[in-house]
Structure 1
Amino acid sequence: MPQRDAALTMLEAGALSAGPERALREVLDRLGPSVFAGLLDADGVLRYANQAALQAIGAAPEEVLGQRFETTPWWQACELSQRRLQQALARASRGEASRFDVRVATRRGTTLSMDFSLLPLYGPDGRIAWLIPSACDVSDRERAQRQLRLTRHAVEQANDALFQVGPDGAFRDANAAACRLLGLTREQLLRLRVPDIDTQVDDTQWPQRWREMCERGSLRFETSLRHHQGHEIPVDVSVSLVTSDGETFAHVCVDDLRDRRAAEQRIQRLLQFDELTGLPNRQRLFELLAATLQTGAETAVLVLELDRFKRINDGLGLHIGDAVLREVAQRIATPLRSTDLVARRGGDEFVVVMPSPSGAAMDVAQALLDTVARPITIGSHEIHLTCSVGIARSPADGDRAETLLRHANAALEQAKRLGRNQVSVYTRAPHDDDPQRLALETALRQASRDEQLELHYQPQVDLVQGRIVGVEALLRWQHPTLGHVAPDRFIPIAEETGLIVPIGDWVLRRAVEQAAAWQRAGLPPLRMAVNLSARQLLQQDLARRIEGLLAASGLDPRRFGVEVTESMLITNFDQAVQHLRALRALGVEVSLDDFGTGYSSLSYLRRLPVDVVKIDRSLVPDVTAPAEDVSITRAIITMAHQLQMKVLAEGVESEGQAALLAANQCDQMQGWWFSAAQSAAAVETMLREGRRVDPALLGRRSRERTLLLVDDEENIVAALRRLLRAEGWRLLSATSAEQALELMARHEVDVILSDQRMPGLTGVELLRRARQLYRETIRLVLSGYTELQSITDAINEGAIYKFLAKPWDDEQLRSHLREAFGLKEMADQNRRLDREVQAANRELAELNRRLQTLLSAQREQNEREVGSREAAQELLDAVPVPVFGIDDQGLLVFANAPAQALFGLDGSLLGGPADEHLPQSLRPALDGEPLMQMHAGRRWWAMSRPLSGSARGRLLVLLPQAGASK
């Protein structure tokens, strides 16, 4: 006889008796809507199907009963499932049970993934009497498994190194990026522990690190990892504790900081020193001068400007002008002491800071006139220059850097008015620096009262879609007699006199009201940005007042933003950060204005709660700008994006600037090129007309394959263009390295094919420079000169992908270029996947946090409800009259202590039918009619009342009547 471990045995062999068959069918019908079940006879003919199975195909029993089971509609969607069923029926005839996954059809034309079982059912005579098929819907499980495979694939493809670490510090899993980071195979890595690679953790410290993570749930820190070759790698580490199926491990995400650190150092250098001369720039000048003045020592500031320098640039060219500036910078620095400071403030203007007695400043200034006047030889050109110098002294002429430089500038203007090639010392004007200042202050006070001030709005444009996404509110003053007063004239007066506070409040209120009016008018959504003053940022109730304005106007907080400058934050950093965080919590966007001109360091930027970095207009390059200027802008954009911030460039005044910003992934821009600040009505007209930037200008965002051909022989370039024209690629060409760099600044290049021997920079040097500025490009050399050592070095350091020899084979060259484009697109896809995985991880973490919050709230609610029920039980037990509770199903669910004592009830009766356990004389009272009863020798009024709210049912109460005899 066959094995019966998985079979069932009935009392009769031929057929089920009516009673057991009916019971079995009832059981099968109650299995649930996702469980299909039935009965087959020993020949595989369907004799019964439960309701869930019939409803899935929309069939009545008579339409399918009596058919061979494999011919019924459930099996018509998948031939593989039919074959498996036929094999299972054959095994069942031999007494073998089967279980496998199948696809079952439904009446909607779809299929369900089912876990299917077929069991033989034996009678007492040992023969198979029935076959019982059953199937359970496992579509959700299948989808979950598919999602798990996708997630695993995404993790494996991520650029960030991901690890799983156990409580003992051993690595349980790691993705490919982790292996690449450490230079190990996966098998080698999984044999290690955290102390083996973390330079800041050893075996004795690991238990403490694990306990700290268990207490906090997550950790974020920076450390260094040991590469298998011995060098250390700085990394940013994010650790999250994960508990699954009773097992706890750490999920570790490691971000390689080498590129970021190098970029930060380069940006720091670019932001503090002049690229052309190597001298401190304007920002560094302000920092060092402010530090010098804080010592209280007597200090002289000399501002030197070359006379009529523009004629050199115009007549001899920019490269000659740059060489002259470098020579002048060296001449100025040579005679000075080590304690003196020389800086280039911009253009042809230099500043000397001398912590020294005032008498020495005039001698140094005269020496500077003489040294600059000496002939300068650049190539074949002999150039003669003069300069003018203005001097201001501290503390006599001011004790602040801005004041002292402004006074030195005033002295410089006086020297130029005297005929140039002069030295002038600042002399204070009678009463004040600005004779009109007092009158202007009085007029400003009146203007704020008489509503002479108004707001104009400069559009901010998205550089992906080209549409207006925001406006910056700018204060304007039209005086009845003075006419238009420039903001740089009256804003400093407002700040010094304290008028900026009421004016700032008025600007906030008016801007919010205007944005709310645009919102109610149904105009396209845009964000209103308002500049905050330093005094506003110090107000304790700033966030609360802005929240009140938003609530009163009905403006969506996501349509409002504030702008602050670095100099405002540096004064009281912690308080400013607190205010900005409170505003961001409301949904208000925070922008850091004039980035690149303030005093804060990059470490401050990482700590600031900022959504948008606004690049100062002085750092917005044009297509004709030197490559190093473009690299500064690109570095700022890259840094901001890595800090999860958007970038807005201000002061965009040409199409070239806009195109270059779009090409370098800048998010938004504003400036005169698109629109000057306009009235509210003019902005509304632009929004209704849908004014936007020409999409052709922003076409750089599309993924058109772009190839840059570089060769100083124009016939070679022409031949390459003819050869590659049929490939459908976008072809750019240059005949020098300098021209190629300019093209790369204006266009997003995927692949570079360059000759080696060219005037100026060689091909290898060009591609090294391209690797520094545009790391994502694929770089190839096509040359008839091997120069093996330089080519090999460039390939080893990653500057060159391949070296191709001239003359070339057409098909082979096309093949190499196609391969290069394929690599570029694969790298782009990996970067996109990495961003998507990071976004998914952040979203998952946020969802998990919200779930934990909901679960915690639910637990607290349950605890409160249990406490309320216990308190209600105690309260009703203390009531000296009998009380019963009957639910809406007629079950007795409550009886207080007097009720149990009066009728001799116990707790075991609770949950039973009330009409069976309550005395028969009380049952009429459940219908709502009060009645008089005798119990235990006393008269009682019995009455019931329906319950409402979350409770359902009735409450039966017995009230004793006075005078009743026992």
Structure 2
Amino acid sequence: MPHRDAALTLVAASPTPPGPEYALREVLDRLGPSVFAGLLDADGVLRYANQAALQAIGATPEQVLGLRFETTPWWQGCKLSQRRLQQALASASRGEASRFDVRLAIRGDTLAMDFSLLPLYGPDGRVAWLIPSAHDVSERERARRQLRLTRHAVEQAHDALFLVGPDGAYRDANAAACRLLGLTRKQLLRLRVHDIDTQVNETSWPQRWHEMCERGSSRFETNVRHHDGHEIPVDVSVSLVTSDGETFAHVCVDDLRDRRAAERRIQQLLQFDELTGLPNRQRLFEHLGATLQTSATTAVLVLELDRFKRINDGLGPQIGDAVLREVAGRIAATVRSVDLVARRGGDEFVIVMPAPSVPAPHVAQTLLETIARPMTIEGHEIHLTCGIGIAMAPADGDRADTLLRRANAALEQAKRLGRNQVNVYAGAPHDDDPEQMALETALRHALRDEQFELHYQPQVDLAQGRIVGVEALLRWQHPTLGRISPDRFIPIAEETGLIVPIGDWVLRHAIEQAAAWQRARLPPLRMAVNLSARQLLQPDLARRIEGLLAATGLDPRRFGVEVTESMLIGNFDQAVQHLRALRALGVEVSLDDFGTGYSSLSYLRRLPVDVVKIDRSLVPDVTAPAEDVSITRAIITMAHQLQMKVLAEGVESEGQAALLAANQCDQMQGWWFSAAQTAAAIEAMLREGRQIDPALLGRRSRQRTLLLVDDEENIVAALRRLLRAEGWLLLGATGAEEALQLMARHEVDVILSDQRMPGMTGVELLRRAKQLYPETIRLVLSGYTELQSITDAINEGAIYKFLAKPWDDEQLRTHLREAFALKEMADQNRRLDEEVQAANRELAELNRRLQTLLSAQREQNEREVGSREVAQELLDAVPVPVFGIDDENLLVFVNAPARALFGLDGNLLGRPAAEQLPQTLRRALEGEPLMLTLAGRRWWTMSRPLSGNARGRLLVLLPQAGASK
């Protein structure tokens, strides 16, 4: 390697002559330390060499000067370089300059040099001198070689690599990138990022570039477009690179298609049976666990083939596998698409049926018949039977392992009954069920170890749509058994008496949580807690609840208790006493599960109840029979007449909520709005103001609405055109079912229906509408006159008018305007009635509160009178005179010794003390102690001010010993 920092000197074999040659040496001497330079004569003999060139080969001037240039040590390392030099010398003698890369031998190394040979002409015009120079370009060569290697590596890389500029244009791309997109490199470099990336468009690219510049790098997944149009999932890694003041993105794109396919294959192997393609045991447990969390009822069927081993042994495993695939297909074709069919192993299959539409035993019987049909496998006719065991959630358990275990137990019983049998799990007596006994022990530990938690189900006001309360529901998370349903442990707790301490735990934690929400200034809501029958029998129930409310600072109006009818019947009078005491505190009382127990009106009238909760079994849907709706509306009307609110529980659809709101139900709770949630989730709901869509509750702006029903679409269209200018909201339906659905979502004022329609006639539809929405005005427009049914409907009030087809446009408009006017009047009357009822309810509530306050004040007065009488008796027993003077100096108290001493009577109380007491005692009233002689005895008078609620002074006379009588 050359010594780049060596100083340049011009070396000559003889003293330096003056003239042009000397000037040339001066130029050569001033070249940089990395430049080798010299001077050749016209014959190619070296006459001069600078110090950098000499030091590079470690030679003295005498060793190289005077030699032909190609024979010097610089050129001994590469024959090719010598030949190229000779050609350059020949060209230089002809006046031609040369420049090329050569390999020179420098201190044992061969360096790459950029060599040039320039001819220099003399005065005679001939070539007089040749000037050789060489510059070390080894680093440049190494960079070029590294660049070639890098380029080769980039081209050979499996991942697609891109260079992207700030404008989104592709600056470079490797072969893998071209293969990925199906483009040539020339085509690709004409594109921009938004042409390929499906998640980027031309307007969003500047923001994407800005974000990448801020982060410096990023990684994400996206899809890119192939040349033929399909999309490819890719993983993208981006690194920002800055070079020579320019910033660009180095993008590495990994094709995810193989990885996704492998993941799907792994997932398939992990969760699905390879033979049948059905979910395997792991997938079965996951799905069943999730189903139990979301479905009210779930059926689990375990199906096992009878004598399947004889097929494997007799016909071989290949035939056995084909039989299993055929059985799997038959089972899947028999059950619903929402049901899960899994193969648990061997010849055993499991069917999970959430919310069965038909009884599970009926489905099982169909499966028996389906499996029993002959099947032909590779020429063999095969006959099979099976046994099926059934378990139901939540009756037989609410955990996956429990249900499967009990379905297995039912299957074993089916086998004992013979082949081709179905058996439903019947359970075991409590005393003989080791699981129940273990659960009782675990329940005691749960209370001790704080394994319980409370979830809260929102209760929503159907007038405003907002959350007004929550019901506290107990949950038990066992450390090993997992979530245990209340249906399993509450009966055990009631039987063993553990329900009392558990109930106390629920009361305390629910009140503490409600108080925390109150302190957080969340929107006010009422916390409702279910009381057990044993709690209601405790004599100090109201006192303990009052103590919890006082200790936490919870407003009693934000707390409520719920009791069931059956709890009250056993000890009605005591229950009523407790509930009245709770209402006196301001606690709200709800009667739960109304309609499932005695539902006695005489009991209901006597109960101190604020809210009646309609049981979920009585909450109808929009398509429910009319008689069910009548029962619900009757309960609502009855409760309102008794000045009680109504809350419907178990609301699971929008139709149910709309129907309840239309029938003036006050509140609701159920899965449709929200399942039971944690305290944090409820707090989030309150902060975000979650509520029911006001449109569902009929609180949208009132635009009069007309529902047109006709099974001929052209009739509905013609009526729309005719009535469009009236300004009414026009709804159209081509059948009764569609009309009922529209009525559930819209507040319909007038219904105009055809008579003859498939499925349900117009009269039947309007009868149903009268039951569901009695405020509507209902008209029939028909070309057929069925006199009896229409007459009956008119007499019943189901139909307002009957209009005939074809109609007269103006007459039809007139009839409809009259109907709307009638509806407007009815709405106004109803609003007035509601306002009167609301005012009456408020007045009744105010009266109730006033009576409560008066009762409390009466009790307080009685206590104060009793206290005064006790104090009077005590002071009368004191053997010294005592006087009480209030802060206005009125005489308000005199004990018996004082009356006897001064001959006073009770009629003097309430008069000025200065006028009633002897002159000698008046100075003592001013607080000055005195020694007095009264009635022949000496007395020491003491006057002390009173503090607290009693204000004034107490005057006491103490007799002195030895005084004369």
**TM-score scaled by length of structure 2:** 0.46
**TM-score scaled by length of structure 1:** 0.46
Higher CA-based Rg: 2
Point out which structure has higher relative CO (alpha carbons under 8 A, 6+ apart): 1
